[in-house]
Each structure stands twice: as structure tokens, then as C-alpha cells.
Chain A
Amino acid sequence: MKTLVIAEHDNASLKPATLNAVAAASALGGDIDILVAGGDCAAAAEAAAKIPGVTNVLVADNAAYAHQLAENVALLAAEVAAAYDNVLAAATAGGKNLMPRVAALLDVAQISDIISVEGPDTFKRPIYAGNVIATVQSQDPKKVITVRSTAFDGVPADGGSASVTAVDVVHDAGVSTFVGEEVAESDRPELTAASVVISGGRGMQNGDNFKLLEGIADKLGAAIGASRAAVDAGFVPNDYQVGQTGKIVAPDLYIAVGISGAIQHLAGMKDSKVIVAINKDEDAPIFQVADYGLVADLFAALPELEAAI
């Protein structure tokens, strides 16, 4: 069996979610190759070659792939996939955008967001905002799969020495172009990879009050997240959203502040190891999943917490 993992990267570096996808590929067994499609992406390819357990890194380095436009990369990935039994990617915004397009070109289903590998064609995946776990079996000759990163411990980033092969195939569908991006610069860890996450909800009242979380995040080395309500209200940008349709996190410690705990939010964080909830409403549903609940006014509790840690 041969599995192709599509790398998550920004040309200069490999994203940690790739390591989780490789872990899922290892669970399937057989040979693992990685496809790095980008522009000036030699550094990302080199990083991919260091992942233990990887046989070969295929590098498609071309301007047409520089911004990883789905229209172009899907044509490439579908062509490369001919030699593989499985095609995997992390269920990140990038993976979710690309992989269904690859699956459709191959005329196979996609199995989205798997949380375990039960056999060569059988997987578990959450449905209905994680309220139900479905066990599904694929009948397709080739499996296209996205992997929920939090469900697979990432393989080490170093220790391997895969061969690196250039792929010279250039696909430019010519129907999409990159215009620009607004990417938040932050020294904090990435939300989906952080070991501690502190999130604010509607109870934060405004964006300025998120500063109350920043001091604590700095002390704990935490990432900052938010509920949908806080993002919709404009307190923080969209990339902070934790939940069913936002980011899925499972840190060692998740601190929910002023978050009531809608099903959709719980879907994004309830696999965290330890959950702390701070909310002044003692009946808030978030307390039903919290290991430690503190019924308190967050504006009093947060400065106290920052001072105590």
C-alpha cells in the first residue's frame, strides 16, 4: 500500500499539521510519500524530507503553485495520486479547500476529518458537531482523506532522511489568481498546536477586553481563541474561532472565559485534556464539560488569575 500526504506549508516552512497527517498515514501502514506543491518551496521540502518514516518527498516547485490555488494544485495532486492507494491531508483550511477537488477529479468520495483508522478502508469521523461518531467504510479503490490533527499525535519533525524528487508537471488552470492576504502576525503559538489555549466569548463585552487574556496567555505560553459570538461581534478576527466550523483544538489546558458553551463551540474544544470555565452564570452549559468551574465576574477573576500564575 502506498500513501501520499499533501504537505501543509507556507513555502518557507512546514506546518505542524503535516506531522499529524503523516501519523494517520502511518496508521494505514505501507509506504508514505509527501507532496510539497508551492513556489520557492525548497525549504519546506527539506523539512518534509526529515520526517521519519517518509520514503520520498515529491516537490512541485512552480509559480503556478506558489499560493497553492486549489484549481492548480488539485490537477497536480490528482495526476500524482495515480500511483497511490491513499491521499491524505490535514483538515486545515488549506486541506479542506483542496482535497474535495482532488477527490472529484479522481471520481472518488472524500472521507472528511477522520479521528481514527480502524482498518485499511474503515475510519471513524465525527458528525453532527461531534455529537455522534460514525464508523464509515470506503468502497473506493483510492481513498481521499482529511485528518483531524488533534486526533493523531504528530510524528517527530526530525530524524528521517527521505529522498527528494522534483515533479516537473505544471498545471495552471488560468481561472484564479491570488490578490492578497491579511495574516495576523503573532509571537504566540498557533491555536491548533498550542498546549494551552485561553478563549474569550461574548462575556468579554468588547475587543479591548481581550487584553485581559493576553497577560495570562503570555505567562502560560498560550494561544488565544474565541467563541463564534465573540468573532461575529467583531471583538477578534475570524482566525480566532474555535468550534464546529472554526478551528478544532485539543490542548492540555483550555480556559474558557465568558463563553456559555453552545454545542457548536464544545465541538471544537471538548477533547482538551483539562477544561477550565470562568463564567458568572452558574447554569452556563460550559460547566457541564469543565473539570474546574469558577463562577465569577471575569473582570475581577482575570487580573487575579494573571497575578497568581
Chain B
Amino acid sequence: MKALVAVKRVVDYNVKVRAKSDGSDVELNNVKMAINPFCEIAVEEAVRLKEAGTVSEIVVVSVGDKSCQEQIRTALALGADRGIHVEVDGRPEPLEIAKLLKGVVAREEPQLVIMGKQSIDGDNNQTGQMLAALTGMPQGTFASEIKVDGDKLHVTREVDGGLQTLALTLPAVVTTDLRLNEPRYASLPNIMKAKKKPLDVVSPDELSVAVTSHVTQLSVAPPPERSAGIKVEDVAQLVDKLKNEAKVIS
């Protein structure tokens, strides 16, 4: 079966992002960018399914400006077969990305779509569910294990009380959680090979999507600062402070 994996270019997870002092936006100049960690897990899962013989071809797609081709190449170096770049300037919203991905799904007809559960920039956790809704596909969100069983997909999901397993009819959308796998590193030869793998660029027009905006970001600000408190000498002093100063235990 064919797998479609969606990836996003985001600020590297080690970077502590700050609001600009005028509150107009976040400071993204000269900040290290990377593939969203959850998307990396999605790529890895598709590659493992291909290695197991379940998946025959992995198509990786990213929505964004030209620079996101870098993250498509990263996915190709990890084992995806070809790339699709949906070229959109600015920061398209989750619903618009889902509509564009729906257009890609209509062209590629994958049996399985794997994507990250959320991107670590907007922290929205929406796109996979929205794509599933727009295409009428079932969704296996926050997946920690997936297993293809004939025309069904068994998805174990991380939910508030523990784990839940669902059986979904293929084609289906899966969004990855942290425990699904541990992504590999791309080897140098694979990075070189990835440069030669096919990468198509398509416009929203070609996918019959008019990208619009539903939400305006009015301003950004740093969260209330929390200042460091004091160091206590020992457990006795800690308990005394908690009882008599903070009064949080009795």
C-alpha cells in the first residue's frame, strides 16, 4: 500500500522562542529550523512499515514556502521515496493545510496517511483530525502502536486514562505520539541519495484550494515570569516552609 506522510518545518525543539518586544510576533530571525519531532516519528513509522513489506511506497508532503523543501529532503533521507511540496507563503492555518492535504490525498490515493499529532510551534493539534473529517477517513490520533491487519488498521492510542485500541477501516489517518517509535538518524549516503529523489512542487490552485484565513493573531506576549525562589538546606526546612510559609500542607 501507499503511505502519505505529512511533515512540517518548525523551530528546533531546543530553541526557547521569545515574543518580540513590540508584541507583533515571535522572534524567528536566525533561529534554527528543523522537522517537527512528531512528523519525524511519522516518517520513521512509514519507513518501518515499508521495511516490514506492508507499505510499498512512501510519499512525503509539506505545505509551506520554499524553505520547507529542506524538511522534505530530510524525510527522503530517512527513507521516503518521493516528495510533494505544496507551495504557500505565510503561515497557513490548520484547516487550510488540511484542505490542501485533502487535495494531495485525492491525487495520490494513499491507503494510510501518517502525520504528527501536533507541531511544536502553534501547538494546535488539529490538522490530522481535520484531514480525516474532510476526506471521511477514520482517525487514529495520538498513536503509540499501529498494526495493519488486512483492510483494517489497529491503532493503540494514548488517552487520558491509559491506552485505547481502535480498529479503523483503511484508508485512515494516523497521528503520532511520542512512544510510537524512536526515529533513526539519516546516514550520509542516504542524505546524498535523497538529493536525487523526485520532488514535485504544486500550487494550491492545482489542488483547487483557495487558501483563506479564519483567525488573526492580534499580538503576542511573554507569559508571566516565574522567578526562582530559595534553596532550602534540608528536608526539615522544606517541610517547615511548606507548612508555615506557603501553607500548602498541614
Residues facing B in A121-137 (CB within 8 A) are 122, 126-137
- Name which of B58-66, B105-113, B194-202, B211-219 contacts chain A: B211-219
Report the minimum CB–CB distance from A118 to chain B (whole Å). Answer: 9
- Name which of B42-50, B69-77, B153-161, B183-191 contacts chain A: B153-161
Central interface residue in A131, A196, A264, by most chain B CB within 10 Å = A131
- How many residues of chain B are within 8 Å of chain A by beta carbon? 81
Q: Mark B212-230, 1 if CB is under 8 A from A, else 0.
A: 0111111111110010111
Q: Would you call B125 and A112 a contact (CB within 8 A)?
A: yes
CB-CB under 8 A from A276, the residues of chain B are 238, 242
Q: Would you call B133 and A100 a contact (CB within 8 A)?
A: yes
- Name which of A45-53, A80-88, A181-189, A207-215 contacts chain B: A181-189
Whole-angstrom CA separation of A26 from B138 in the bound complex? 33
Given contacts A93-B142, A96-B125, A289-B228, contact A181 B164 (CB under 8 A): yes
CB-CB under 8 A from B123, the residues of chain A are 112-113, 126-129, 244
Q: Would you call A245 and B178 a contact (CB within 8 A)?
A: yes
Q: Would you call A104 and B130 a contact (CB within 8 A)?
A: yes
Whole-angstrom CA separation of A295 from B13 in the bound complex? 28
Q: Would you call B166 and A178 a contact (CB within 8 A)?
A: yes
Given contacts A70-B129, A181-B163, contact A132 B19 (CB under 8 A): yes
Report the minimum CB–CB distance from B97 to chain A (whole Å). Answer: 11
CB-CB under 8 A from A166, the residues of chain B are none
Q: Would you call A289 and B226 a contact (CB within 8 A)?
A: yes
Report the minimum CB–CB distance from B65 to chain A (whole Å). Answer: 19
Whole-angstrom CA separation of A263 from B37 in the bound complex? 15
Report the minimum CB–CB distance from A250 to chain B (whole Å). Answer: 12
CB-CB under 8 A from A101, the residues of chain B are 129-130, 132-133, 139
Instruction: Give which listed residue, A130, A184, A253, A270, contacts B162 with CB less than 8 A.
Output: A184
Given contacts A131-B223, A245-B178, A292-B230, contact A104 B217 (CB under 8 A): no
- How many residues of chain A are within 8 Å of chain B by beta carbon? 89
CB-CB under 8 A from A34, the residues of chain B are none
Whole-angstrom CA separation of A179 from B231 in the bound complex? 50
Q: Mark A163-195, 1 if CB is under 8 A from B, else 0.
A: 000000000011111111111100000001000
Report the minimum CB–CB distance from A17 to chain B (whole Å). Answer: 9
Instruction: Give which listed residue, A96, A181, A220, contacts B165 with CB less than 8 A.
Output: A181
Does B207 reach chain A (CB closer than 8 Å)? no
Does A309 reach chain B (CB closer than 8 Å)? yes
Report the minimum CB–CB distance from A11 to chain B (whole Å). Answer: 13
Report the minimum CB–CB distance from B74 to chain A (whole Å). Answer: 21
Report the minimum CB–CB distance from A172 to chain B (whole Å). Answer: 12
Q: Would you call B220 and A133 a contact (CB within 8 A)?
A: yes
Does A138 reach chain B (CB closer than 8 Å)? yes
Does A30 reach chain B (CB closer than 8 Å)? no
CB-CB under 8 A from B33, the residues of chain A are none
Whole-angstrom CA separation of A264 from B154 in the bound complex? 29
10 more contacts with CB within 8 A, not counting A101-B129, A126-B123, A135-B220, are: A97-B141, A129-B17, A131-B17, A175-B172, A177-B166, A179-B154, A179-B167, A181-B163, A238-B179, A294-B235
* 29 sampled A-B residue pairs with Cβ under 8 A: A70-B132, A93-B160, A96-B142, A100-B125, A101-B129, A104-B129, A112-B123, A112-B125, A131-B222, A133-B220, A136-B215, A136-B218, A139-B215, A174-B169, A176-B169, A177-B167, A179-B165, A179-B166, A181-B161, A220-B249, A238-B162, A238-B178, A239-B158, A274-B248, A276-B238, A293-B228, A293-B229, A305-B238, A305-B239
Q: Which A residues have a C-beta under 8 Å from some C-beta of B?
A: 69-71, 74, 92-94, 96-105, 107-113, 122, 126-140, 173-184, 192, 196, 220, 228, 231-232, 237-239, 244-245, 247, 252-253, 263-264, 270, 273-276, 282, 287-296, 301, 304-305, 308-309
Q: Which 5 A-B pairs have the closest CB atoms?
A: A291-B229, A109-B214, A100-B129, A104-B133, A104-B130
